[in-house]
Amino acid sequence: MNLSIFSQTFFGNKYETAKPMLRVEPMSFSTNTRYIAILLGTLLLTNVGSFLVGKWKALGSSEPPGLYLSEKASVYVTDFQPFEVKVREVAAKLNVPPEWLMAVMYSESRFDAGAVNFRGSGAVGLIQFMPATAKDMGTSTNNIGRLSHVEQLEYVYTYMQNVREKYGDYESLTDFYLAILYPKARRQEMCYTLYANPSKSYKQNIGLDIDKDGQVTVHDIDKRMKRIYPTAYIKRLPQENKT
């Protein structure tokens, strides 16, 4: 059989007009993938770059971090910036971290400048000034309770500075809180008792008896401050941070 005739018969006009088929060119797919990869890579590098720049600016910034417990204080403090400035100023003058000052104010009053002790002690204000204490500072609890947060912080400083001058510099958050609660307990052993049942003072401070053994000791106070305010508890004194 003639091969040319065979070829013409099977590969001739009958099979020359095959319908076109949709084909994806490998080169086109590869190009599209490359473009997508470049785009994703660019976006990723941009985001990473922005993150690193932000971190670098934060580390190099001279602005102090947000005030400890600020979200709690904002419930009562309507004009927060002057309050924060005053807190930092008072803490610096007392040579303590601002975290300590914020912790003790929250512990005593939840930052309510007009707070009155509900157990009948007569204490008022940010650190619960007692009537006798207010009188010693030339004022009264009624007057203190009407002051703004910033104004009342002046009395907080006066009181804490008086205790500091009498008993020495503050050494820890527990020591700082004892200056408010029971100054004579400063520098005492952990077993030292502040209040004991069935005294009136114990009943007024029964919530501080962590061990529920009928007495409030320095150890109870230390455990409480460590548990509730761990961030403030581990804060070091300003001069220690510089060494």
Provide the residue type at 8 as one letter. Q
**Domain map of the chain by residue range?**
70-238
- What does the alpha-carbon distance between residue 166 and residue 184 come to, in Å, rounded to a whole number? 10
108-124 pLDDT tens trace:
999 999 999 887 789 99
Phi, psi of 7 (to 5 degrees): -65, -40
Looking at the domain covering 70-238, what would its CATH class be? mainly alpha
Task: Give the per-residue pLDDT at 62.
Answer: 38
Regarding pTM above 0.85, the answer is no
- What does the alpha-carbon distance between residue 63 and residue 82 come to, in Å, rounded to a whole number? 15
Per-residue pLDDT tens listing for the chain (243 residues): 444 444 444 444 444 444 555 454 554 546 667 666 676 766 666 664 555 445 434 444 334 569 999 999 999 999 999 999 999 999 999 999 999 999 999 999 999 999 998 877 899 999 999 999 999 999 999 999 999 999 999 999 999 999 999 999 999 999 999 999 999 999 999 999 999 999 999 998 999 999 999 999 999 999 999 999 999 999 999 877 654
Both tokens assigned to 146 = 């009407």
